Amino acid sequence: MTQWVYSFGDGAAEGTRDMKNLLGGKGANLAEMSSIGLPVPPGFTITTEMCGWYYDHGGRYPDTLDEQISTALSLIENSVGARFGDAENPLLVSVRSGARVSMPGMMDTVLNLGLNDKTVEGLANRSGDPRFAWDSYRRFIQMYGDVVLGVAHHLFEEALENLKLDKGVDLDTDLDADDWRDLVDIYKQEVKTHLGRPFPQDPQEQLWGAISAVFGSWKIDRAKVYRRLHNIPEDWGTAVNVQAMVFGNMGETSATGVAFTRNPSTGERMIYGEFLINAQGEDVVAGIRTPQYLTREARKNGNGAKPSMEEAMPEVFAQLKGVFQTLETHYRDMQDIEFTVQNGKLWMLQTRSGKRTANAALKIAVDMVAEGLITEEEAVMRVDPAALDQLLHPTLDPNAQRDVIAIGLPASPGAASGTVAFTADEAEARAKEGEAVILVRVETSPEDIHGMHAARGILTSRGGMTSHAAVVARGMGRPCVSGAGSLRIDMKAGEMTVGGRTIYRGDTITIDGGTGEVMAGHVPTLKAELTGDFASLMEWADRYRTMAVRTNADTPHDTETARNFGAEGIGLCRTEHMFFEGDRIIAVRQMILAEDEEGRRRALDKLLPYQRQDFSEIFRIMRGLPVTIRLLDPPLHEFLPREEKEFSEVAMAMHVNAEHLRRRALDLTEANPMLGHRGCRLGIAYPEIYEMQARAIFEAALAVGEEFGAPLHRKSWCRWWPRNPNWLSCASVSKPLRKPCLKKKASVSHIWWEA
């Protein structure tokens, strides 16, 4: 019989951390934490294979699954001393998704499952806290109604806000048990109004509904977008984790939080994270309340008004520090942790390798080598090569004037300027038009991911450094400022106000994800500088690599950048990219629009010094390393003028009428330019173009060779024989060969060198 369910808890587990493909990342790590003795609420994981079976069989389940879930539930009941569905001593569970790789916020979660009109009374009696019980029940109806039943989330939020308005309070914590009881009735009525049936009271029905909803969330739009952006195969599926509830909303001795064992922005070894007293886990990441710091130092640096966990719960904080050390030593990587404190007792709900910026990844990898946790080879493999692009993120020019209008939390490093967009759709649409956009939201949600990907940066008025906006922005390499509480955002009007000033949709702002500053207008940026950690990692990479890397570089600036990154040659230098600036493009257009060879040669004479200068600089920078050069290749239409101003500039340079040039440009139009007059066909039609480029290359090579004391000898250059395009003639540049080199029936246009 196939095992669909794996249990964990009480210091033992049926799974291990190596079973991520089967149990998902969350399930595998819950099993691992249980096995190494950390305090983990008991539970079970339904495998990713079950997700595939579910979709393959039209949303049905195998008969054996019911029995396996019942057995696993009994183990949880025996462990915690409560019964699922019992009116006097109810067991409540959470139902969470868990894919092989972390997909933060992309799929669904349900907490407090098992509550109904009877079990809520039992929970109130057992806990001695009716307020906590009814608060938990309203949370469950809201989550289950949204995730499983499909009732719009905003309807529940509006009901809550209206209740607080009626009661004259600002915070959820100001509402009492009777208020929550009233809200439960309102929520149940919302469900009945929209579904035509009452909220389900049977805990078993609730459980199976939640399991199906989690499996179903694998194919919701936001999860599909995330998978596409991160190249996650659709057939992987998700696991479902069912776990005994522990409560962070039982009063002032209870809390919930998110933490990292190192700073995910900088990589510094420190306790980094946030928590909320008298709250449940989703409150922290959802940004509903601005959370508190974990450490005293962080609170002081952030000018926090409320005490840190280190100050408010010193014993729990000390235990949490010990867990940090245990997890880092065991996993040998920086961990992202979710935890709950119930009546002063710490419970671990999740651990996973934490998402981090490229700078943090470098520092963590290098530091862990120094600490003896990993080897140099492992450090090289830990850093995603694609993520190193983040190291090039700009920073604000320290000498530039700044009009700071607000300060939030530095959630993801880097700086960006752009026009304000208040919705993800708007950000995506304007970005497609080539506009730099800053996405501004009260708080982001998984539905905003496409807009976050399109934006240059993200700004939110609510949420902390572990909120959805912060975590996703860091993963995407986007600058982010979160929790800028002084901003008042009116989504409907398309404006935000701060300090008596109004910023409208389309206005330009600048954000600094390293300091949390929000500025009006555009602020110039500077290129980031690479650190010593980068040099260390590159040294290790050179030590263990088995292949060399050449670069694509088309200009001296590109070449210098490539050498700084360790490139050992140029694999492709596309000469046409040297022409797209200043007077060069005008000369190129003159050459293309010329009606005879004499006109083309006049234009080419202007281009020769530019080409020779660029090649000379490239050769100097490469200092003898190989350089592969591609001569002019793209379709000519890419260089033709399009705007009236461009036609006028070329006409003035050629001393002809602009209208005449427009007719000439029309004559050069092709049905399919990509298969038309380009590449070797261009060289056959206009051999003088490649003659000029060949001369520029070899004159530059000879000059630079003389500079370095290594003149070139026995090198030849080739050009098309004008009267017979099937032949190439090659002649010596610096020292005659014994005989000229003749190649018959050449099929491609290129310059080649012979020793």
Comparing 57-71, 344-358, 389-403, 593-607, which segment has the lowest mean pLDDT? Answer: 389-403
367 phi-psi bin (left φ>0, alpha ψ -120 to 50, beta other): alpha
Read off the CATH number of the domain in which 265 is found. Answer: 3.30.470.20
Q: Does the pLDDT value for residue 15 go beyond 80?
A: yes
Map residue 11 onto helix, strand or coil. Answer: coil
747 inside domain: no
Q: Does the pLDDT value for residue 674 go beyond 80?
A: no
Domain co-membership, 289 together with 147: no
pLDDT of the residue at 619: 93
pLDDT of the residue at 107: 66
Q: Does the pLDDT value for residue 608 go beyond 50?
A: yes
What's the burial of 733, exposed, middle or buried (CB within 10 Å: 0-12/13-18/19+)?
buried
Q: Does the pLDDT value for residue 334 go beyond 70?
A: yes
pLDDT of the residue at 709: 75
Average pLDDT over residues 140-168: 93
Comparing 25-39, 397-411, 598-612, 718-732, which segment has the lowest mean pLDDT? Answer: 718-732
Give the domain-ending residue among 244, 272, 294.
244
226 inside domain: yes
Domain co-membership, 503 together with 410: yes
How many CB atoms are located within 10 Å of the residue 629 CB?
18
Domain co-membership, 556 together with 519: no
136 inside domain: yes
Question: How many domains does the structure of the chain reveal?
Answer: 4
Read off the CATH number of the domain in which 492 is found. Answer: 3.50.30.10
Average pLDDT over residues 81-99: 95
Comparing 86-100, 124-138, 429-443, 645-659, which segment has the lowest mean pLDDT? Answer: 645-659
Do 272 and 264 contact (CB within 8 A), yes or no?
Answer: yes
Domain co-membership, 146 together with 37: yes
Q: Tens of pLDDT along 609-625?
A: 999 999 999 999 998 89
Domain co-membership, 421 together with 329: no
pLDDT of the residue at 665: 73
pLDDT of the residue at 389: 59
580 inside domain: yes
What's the burial of 57, exposed, middle or buried (CB within 10 Å: 0-12/13-18/19+)?
exposed
Q: Tens of pLDDT along 554-575?
A: 889 889 988 987 889 999 998 8
Map residue 518 onto helix, strand or coil. Answer: strand
Question: What is the number of alpha carbons within 13 Å of residue 567 lying toward its C-beta?
Answer: 20
Q: Tens of pLDDT along 61-77?
A: 999 999 999 999 999 99
Tally DSSP H helices, then E strands, for the chain. Answer: 26, 32
pLDDT band with cut points at 50, 70 and 90 for residue 492: confident
Average pLDDT over residues 583-598: 79
Average pLDDT over residues 353-363: 88
pLDDT band with cut points at 50, 70 and 90 for residue 106: low
pLDDT band with cut points at 50, 70 and 90 for residue 711: low
- Of the candidates 228, 222, 288, 291, the one whose C-alpha atom is nearest the C-alpha of residue 256 is 291
pLDDT of the residue at 743: 39
Average pLDDT over residues 52-65: 95
pLDDT of the residue at 79: 96
Residue numbers of the domain that contains 660: 548-712
Q: Tens of pLDDT along 398-422?
A: 778 999 999 999 888 889 999 999 9
Do 27 and 15 contact (CB within 8 A), yes or no?
Answer: yes
pLDDT of the residue at 346: 97
Map residue 743 onto helix, strand or coil. Answer: strand
Domain co-membership, 233 together with 108: yes
pLDDT band with cut points at 50, 70 and 90 for residue 49: very high
Distance CA 602, CA 591 (A): 8
Q: Does the pLDDT value for residue 724 go beyond 50?
A: no
pLDDT of the residue at 415: 92
String of b and e for 349-370 (b: at least 16 CB within 10 Å)? Answer: bbbbbbbbbbbbbbbbbbbbbe
Cα 179 from chain centre: 41
* pLDDT over 70, % of the chain: 90
Of 144 and 465, the structure prediction assigns the larger pLDDT to: 144
Q: One-letter amino acid identity for 671?
A: A
Q: Does the pLDDT value for residue 177 go beyond 90?
A: yes
Give the domain-ending residue among 244, 271, 299.
244
Q: What is the DSSP letter of 334?
A: -
pLDDT of the residue at 520: 95
CA end-to-end span of the chain, whole Å?
71
Q: Does the pLDDT value for residue 477 go beyond 50?
A: yes
pLDDT of the residue at 251: 87
Average pLDDT over residues 143-160: 93
Average pLDDT over residues 531-546: 88
- Quick one: tokens of 561? 């950048």
Of 729 and 123, the structure prediction assigns the larger pLDDT to: 123
Cα 87 from chain centre: 45
Do 244 and 91 contact (CB within 8 A), yes or no?
Answer: yes
pLDDT band with cut points at 50, 70 and 90 for residue 637: low
Q: Does the pLDDT value for residue 369 go beyond 50?
A: yes
123 inside domain: yes
Average pLDDT over residues 711-737: 40
640 inside domain: yes
pLDDT of the residue at 575: 85
Domain co-membership, 420 together with 450: yes
Q: Does the pLDDT value for residue 133 go beyond 60?
A: yes
Residues 6+ apart with CB under 8 A from 483: 287, 290, 408, 409, 411, 460, 461, 462, 463, 464, 465, 467
pLDDT of the residue at 642: 67
pLDDT of the residue at 356: 86
Query: SS3 for 197-258, per residue?
Result: CCCCCCHHHHHHHHHHHHHHHHHCHHHHHHHHHHCCCHHHCEEEEEEECCCCCCCCCCEEEE
pLDDT band with cut points at 50, 70 and 90 for residue 721: very low
Domain co-membership, 555 together with 646: yes
Read off the CATH number of the domain in which 60 is found. Answer: 3.30.1490.20
* pLDDT over 90, % of the chain: 57
702 inside domain: yes
Q: What is the DSSP letter of 150?
A: -
Of 385 and 738, the structure prediction assigns the larger pLDDT to: 385
Q: Does the pLDDT value for residue 588 go beyond 90?
A: no
Read off the CATH number of the domain in which 636 is found. Answer: 3.20.20.60
Domain co-membership, 55 together with 124: yes
Of 535 and 145, the structure prediction assigns the larger pLDDT to: 145
Distance CA 134, CA 122 (A): 11
Give the domain-ending residue among 471, 495, 526.
526
Looking at every residue in the chain, the average pLDDT score rounds to 86
pLDDT of the residue at 749: 30
Domain co-membership, 41 together with 171: yes
537 inside domain: no
Of 732 and 295, the structure prediction assigns the larger pLDDT to: 295
- Quick one: tokens of 505? 């949709």
Beta bridge partners of 409: 482
Domain co-membership, 38 together with 182: yes
Comparing 447-451, 577-581, 612-616, which segment has the lowest mean pLDDT? Answer: 577-581
Average pLDDT over residues 464-469: 84
Order of all β-strands in the sheet with 727-732: 716-720, 727-732, 741-744
Domain co-membership, 562 together with 424: no
Q: Does the pLDDT value for residue 475 go beyond 90?
A: no
Do 623 and 568 contact (CB within 8 A), yes or no?
Answer: no
